[in-house]
Structure 1
Amino acid sequence: MTTPAGTHIDEPHQMGIAQRLNWLRAGVLGANDGIVSTAAVVVGVAGASSEVMPVLLAGSAALVGGAISMALGEYVSVSSQRDSEKALIEKERRELAEEPEAEFAELVGLYRAQGLSEDTATKVAEELTERDALAAHLSAELNIDQDDVVSPWHAAFASAVAFTVGALLPMATILLLPHPMRIWFTFVAVLLALAITGYAAAWIGGADRGRAILRITIGGALALGATFLVGTLFGTAVA
C-alpha cells in the first residue's frame, strides 16, 4: 500500500520506499550475477588447467569486467526510468498551471472511480489540492512521489558492490582448495549461495520462495556444468 505524501514527515527517512527497494533489487541481482558468471569462468578454466594462475587471471578479469558492466547497466537503466518520471512530473506541473479547473475535475473523477461519492471525492480533491496539488495528481494519476524518484547512483553502486561480493565466493573456493576437490566444492558453495540470493529476491518481490530457489539453482547448475564441460574438452584437446 502506498503511503500518502506527507505522512510521518517528522521521521528521519533517508530515502523513500522506491529507492530502498531499487537498491535492494540491484544488490540481489548483482550478487547473483557475480556468483554465476564468475563461477562459470573459473570452473571452466579449472576444467581445462590444474594451474592456479590461469584461474586467478580469468576470475579477476571476470570480476572487474562484470562489476563495471553491472554498474553501467544499472546506471543507464535507472537513469532512463528517472528521466521518464521527471518528464511526467514536469508535464503534470505544466498542466496544473495551464488548466487547473480541468485538472481538478480529473482528480475528482479519479477518486470517484475508486468508489468515493461525488461529494466525498470533491472534498478529498479540494483538501489535497490545497495542501499540494502536484503531489495529489502525481499520486492519483501516475502513482509517483516527486520526493521518491529512484537514484541511478544508488543502483549502480549497489550492483557493483554486490557483484564483487558474489564473485569473491567462487574465486576463494576454487583458489584455496586443492585441484581435485576445488571444482566440486565450488559447485556446492555456488548453489548454496544462489539459493540464498534466490530466496532474497523472492522475499523482496513477494514471490514464491521455493520456486525462486529452484529456478536459480537449476540455472546456476546448468551454467557451471556447461562451462566445466567446455573447459574439460578444451583441456583434453590441448593436451
Structure 2
Amino acid sequence: MTLRISILLFFISSSSFSQFTLAQFEGGEDSLKAYIERNLKPYKELNTILQLRIDSTGKVTEADILNSTDYEVDEAILKMANEMPNSIPAIQGRQQISSIRMVPIQFEMSMVYTAVEQNPSFPGGREAMDDFFNLNMGVYEPKSKNTKTAMIRFTVLEDGKTCCTIFFNETPKLIEEQILKALNKMPLWNPGKQNNRLVKVFFTMPVKYVVP
C-alpha cells in the first residue's frame, strides 16, 4: 500500500496573515504520513480530502470528509482523525490561532488476493468461528423458521486483523450493526500466505440471523 499525502492549510482569523507559522503534526509531515499509514487501512484505491479543524491548543475539534468514498472507509478516516494526537497549532504573530487543515490523501493499494496457497483461518477453525458468532450475535436460533443469511466479505490483513466488511445481499440495518460489532470483537486471524509471504486476502462467509 502506497500513501501519497499533500497538505493545504487555511486559517480562521479576521486579522492580517502577514506573519504566521503553519500548524503542523508533531514530528512533521513524515510523522503525519506514518500515522495515517498505521491507522488507516482501506480495502480499495482511495483519493479523498480530509478537513481538520485544529484549535489554538493543537487539538482536532472537528473532522470532515469533503469527497465521500463509502460509509465504512469514511468512518475509518474520521475515527483516525479524531484520535489524532495534538498538533503544533498555527501561530500568527505571537498568538496561537485556530486553523483548518486540508489533507488530501491518496492510497494506492497493494494486491488483495481472492485465492491463495494458504487461506486465512479463524483460530480454532470453522467450528470455533461459528461458536463465536452464535455467542456474540445473540440473534441466531437454528430452529427458527425466520432464519435468514447475510453474505459478507471482509479482508484479512497480514497481521491477522480484519477490515472492510461488505454485505452482498440486503440485510436489515440492525443485523448489519450486530454483525459489525461481532466482527470488531474477533481475535486475530491466522493470515493467508502466498509464495511463503503473508498477504491480504478477501474472505467471504455466510452469517445466519433471525428476522426480528
Q: Compute the TM-score of the two structures, normalised by the length of structure 1.
A: 0.24
Q: Compute the TM-score of the two structures, normalised by the length of structure 2.
A: 0.26
Task: Work out which of the two has the higher radius of gyration on C-alpha atoms and give 1 or 2.
Answer: 1
| Richer in helix (by share) | 1
| Richer in strand (by share) | 2
